[in-house]
Structure 1
Amino acid sequence: MDQIHLMNVFVSVGEGKSFAAAARRLDLSPAAVTRAISGLEDQLGVELLLRTTRNVRLTEAGTRYLDDCRGILASIADANEAAAAVNSELKGNLSVAASDAFGKDFIMPCIVKFLNRYPEVEVSAYFLDRVVNLVEEGMDVAVRIGHQPDSSLKALRVGQVRPVLCASPGYLARNGLPLHPADLLRHTMIAASGVSPRVEWKFGAQDDPTVVRIKPRLTITSSEAAIDAAVAGLGICRLLSCQVGNEVGDGRLQLILANYEEAPLPVYVLHRGNKFGASKVRKFIDLLVEHLRTHASLNAGQAMQERKHELICA
């Protein structure tokens, strides 16, 4: 049997955990799907699926093979698109993933520019406060903050951000300026989920950090709402430097405990790195990388670095 056909059938069954659903999805008879899976298992000499009367489950070998098949099929699709005229004309859909606030502030301007430049392309933007699996969820490009584990993805570093503590000048005037992380225990704290979800906040060097167990008075899932609360004078919040650049720049928020900041976090553009990648993906990555690498909030952070030393005053 054709190997690509067998892989397509296996991926459909493995993803849907159902022979019947795979048959409907591929417009095949259930018997044809069963024959394809049996033929593939015979060819490989290993059991890929565990069948019962009620469900279908992947074996350990099947789980690994499913990931491999997805990558191979995606490579084939990219190669086909690269060879087709539609590829050179930059048509079709492009999917992009990033965290919610970062996506809106940093990725959307690039998406708008890209769509204006290439009118035959559609973009699906997923701004979610969770890690998106590019392969499993079929994404073309993702932007992530933080050190990335080893994987098959290609990572292009485009800048860095810093976890920072900030509060409004009015709050600090009323409650005093913390000079050491331990002083935070006497202050009202705002915790933004996704940025500072842990109750313990670490400061300083990674190999010898200062750890403070805080009890937030306000815990909120939106970093934008946390910024609003801090600007309104409720308390001290921990966010990323790129998120509060405007508020610090115009004086609505003030950085504190800058000497105790953790090491900066790298920002990466991730993609599958297939050498046959579609032109629309390559063009978007080029535009996005240029956009982010020249963004003042992500590279060197000169303005905030200069201001932070001015704002640390005893």
Structure 2
Amino acid sequence: MSRYREIQVFDAVARAGSLAGGARLLGLSTATAMRLVAALEARLHCELLQRGPRGVALSASGETFAASCRQILAGIEEVEGSLGGLQAHPAGQLNLTLPLLMGDRIFAPIALDYLAAFPDVRVVSHHREDLPRLLEDGIDVALVIGALPDSSGFALPVGSVRPVVCAAPGYLARHGVPLAPEDLKAHRIIVAGSQGAVSEWRFRHQGASRSVRLAPRLTCSTTHGAIRAASLGLGLTRCMSHEAHGELSSGRLQLVLQDYAAPGVPVQLIYREGRRAAARVRSFLDFVVPRLRAHPALRG
């Protein structure tokens, strides 16, 4: 039995004025209450109850200790009550991570609506493409793209995205539409990041993998820059479908080689603690999950 339980039983006995009465308050047997009080006295090396033929009474030390016990137990109840309030009312800081273009292009409007609905919550958003360590990095919720290891915590699927190749309609009208991956070698290729002088693009067709090595005409430092260059008619670029969702929806970019598209990859929200999560986490998930699942950019 824990020290807390011993103190709780002694307090009940002190308030009831008898071992049997204290036991009834806690739903215990009298023998269990006697054993716990005896263990407490043995640990403190002090007699707290004076036993006699008419029952028990508090000793002088017992009177002093009983007052202290009441203060301790009241303090615990107050702390637990305050924690229950935090668990019930969404408040405090919510730490979130998500990929950069997912945040800017899809998530920001949803997050703004959430903040308007829950004014006592503060959201701190960090952009990262890799899988975060929730506990070590102090992250409450992370939006991640791709398969998850078993140790990622709790996960809620919200959709899927896939790699796409796209170009401006004007560029395709001037240079033609590639019908197979090999046709890309005759086109202007735009890539993002430091991929070197040669970039390898992988495709899948009728269950078989295919790849083509391309020499980029333009290399941009960011995916956003590559998408922007493609929308200006400078060539073809390859990105994830959600990253160019706005340009594709508006017609500034057009998909090509859709018969060779690689399979979609899952998009998920991961978090810690499950049903025991704080109210700010639970309210956030309840708010954003249906909105993300309904977003056309996450339908693969």
1:282 alignment counterpart: 282
Q: Which amino acid aligns with 1:231?
A: S
| 1:94 pairs with 2:88 | no
Matched ranges for 1:1-314 at <5 A: 83-193=83-193, 199-204=199-204, 208-299=208-299
Contact 1:188–1:234 (8 Å) recurs in 2: yes
Contact 1:82–1:279 (8 Å) recurs in 2: no
Q: For the residues of structure 2 that align with 1:251 and 1:259, how far apart are their CA atoms? A: 20
Deviation of the 1:293 alpha carbon: 0.8
Q: Aligned residues: percent identity?
A: 39
Deviation of the 1:80 alpha carbon: 7.0
Distance 1:222 1:82, change over 3 A: farther
Segment of structure 1 superposing worse, 205-214 or 158-167: 205-214
Deviation of the 1:241 alpha carbon: 1.7
Q: For the residues of structure 1 that align with 2:183 and 2:118, how far apart are their CA atoms? A: 53
Deviation of the 1:186 alpha carbon: 1.7
Q: For the residues of structure 1 that align with 2:142 and 2:206, how far apart are their CA atoms? A: 27
Segment of structure 1 superposing worse, 218-227 or 281-290: 218-227
> Between Structure 1 and Structure 2, which shows a larger proportion of helix residues?
2
Q: For the residues of structure 1 that align with 2:80 and 2:153, how far apart are their CA atoms? A: 20
Distance 1:113 1:199, change over 3 A: same
Gaps of 5+ in 1: 1-78, 302-314
Contact 2:203–2:261 (8 Å) recurs in 1: yes
Q: Which secondary structure state, in structure 2, belongs to the residue aligned with residue 84 of structure 1?
A: helix
Q: Which amino acid aligns with 1:199?
A: S
Distance 1:187 1:80, change over 3 A: farther
Distance 1:233 1:280, change over 3 A: same
Distance 1:295 1:112, change over 3 A: same
Normalising by structure 2, report the TM-score: 0.67
Normalising by structure 1, report the TM-score: 0.64
Q: Which secondary structure state, in structure 2, belongs to the residue aligned with residue 293 of structure 1?
A: helix
Q: For the residues of structure 2 that align with 1:255 and 1:112, how far apart are their CA atoms? A: 30
Q: Which secondary structure state, in structure 2, belongs to the residue aligned with residue 171 of structure 1?
A: helix
Distance 1:238 1:120, change over 3 A: same
Count of residue pairs the alignment pairs up: 220
Distance 1:250 1:137, change over 3 A: same
Distance 1:132 1:193, change over 3 A: farther
Deviation of the 1:249 alpha carbon: 2.8
Deviation of the 1:129 alpha carbon: 3.5
Q: Which secondary structure state, in structure 1, belongs to the residue aligned with residue 298 of structure 2?
A: coil
Distance 1:200 1:156, change over 3 A: same
Runs of 4+ in structure 1 deviating by more than 3 angstroms, as ranges, are 79-84
Q: For the residues of structure 1 that align with 2:206 and 2:282, how far apart are their CA atoms? A: 36
The alignment's C-alpha RMSD in Å is: 2.5
Q: For the residues of structure 2 that align with 1:180 and 1:154, how far apart are their CA atoms? A: 40
Deviation of the 1:131 alpha carbon: 3.3
Q: For the residues of structure 1 that align with 2:82 and 2:240, how far apart are their CA atoms? A: 38
Q: Which amino acid aligns with 1:171?
A: Y
Contact 1:81–1:87 (8 Å) recurs in 2: no
Q: For the residues of structure 1 that align with 2:106 and 2:285, how far apart are their CA atoms? A: 14
